[in-house]
Structure 1
């Protein structure tokens, strides 16, 4: 199973914000690919192609891959009842001068991966899980955002307190989830460099480290 995403950017000319514009789940044993974009949901099974809009609720099963679409809200892709990926649709006002429609990706903690799982998801899903500790919490340049030191994988990183939106329960407003932001594209937190995770196409598998 390969889970990949394609990034898009906001329309802001100075600030470079990126979001998921496309999310793909590819199940290689049966050759089933599911591609979710802000416009549609497409399933490819060999020479058979099926495309669904966000305007209707649907439930489709093909060769061990189940797609559950909730109208204008979310799609859940389940592989053989043991791996699940939830993709949420976030619409913005069509005339918004900066923001664009984007997707949110949620991965359950109880997914049953093989010991060979790797990549951005895999490195934080296989046993033993990386130990993470945060200490030396202090005031930062922004009085609303504290700073601290995070120790992970033998590295000490400067992190900044902030929040992200969780839209799973409230798809319109979302709820604030406080977290620590890691700078420099995750350097020291993820294995290798962020460019190591770039693949040629959405159905590609990342090479084993």
Structure 2
């Protein structure tokens, strides 16, 4: 009985993920979700308290998995080379984003909006994200005096690499003819992100090291 409930709940979530991605949150109704998931509206209300609750559940579930990956790599700081940890972490994050591509797209789409929920997400999860990446980056700079780029600049660039394929899926599809489920593109993309990290951390002189930005 409990397994049936979990299966129904998961079916609602997967249906909502598909509809939110294709039609957008506002273009999807609870009735659309119930019809495509083959459940009644009362079931959605029971599990998620409505469409907004369902959206929040999807985003929180996604971020819980994301932060778990960050924490696992941060724990290795005292045992492994910090640059290797950063590269492994970025690869794992990109893999996670690819597997959870629908949730990733929905999360980044919602992140562009200003709402009480998104502010709470920033305080709860994204502050933790920044802290973990800053700890790893500080460890890299401590062991390599040639790395002088402020953390804030590095983090903005890195977040751009991580988020762009999921912020603009329509652009990638219609203009660049790249599908989000294109495994070949995804694998090449990971390679170039790794090369960017290598070039950034191995350069003798950082181009913008003179820019006065707080790290």
**Do both share a fold (TM > 0.5)?**
no
Q: As a proportion of its length, which structure holds more helix? A: 2
Q: As a proportion of its length, which structure holds more strand? A: 1
Q: Which of structures 1 and 2 has the bigger CA Rg?
A: 2
TM-score scaled to structure 1, two decimals? 0.24
Between 1 and 2, higher relative CO (CA 8 Å, sep ≥ 6) is seen in 2
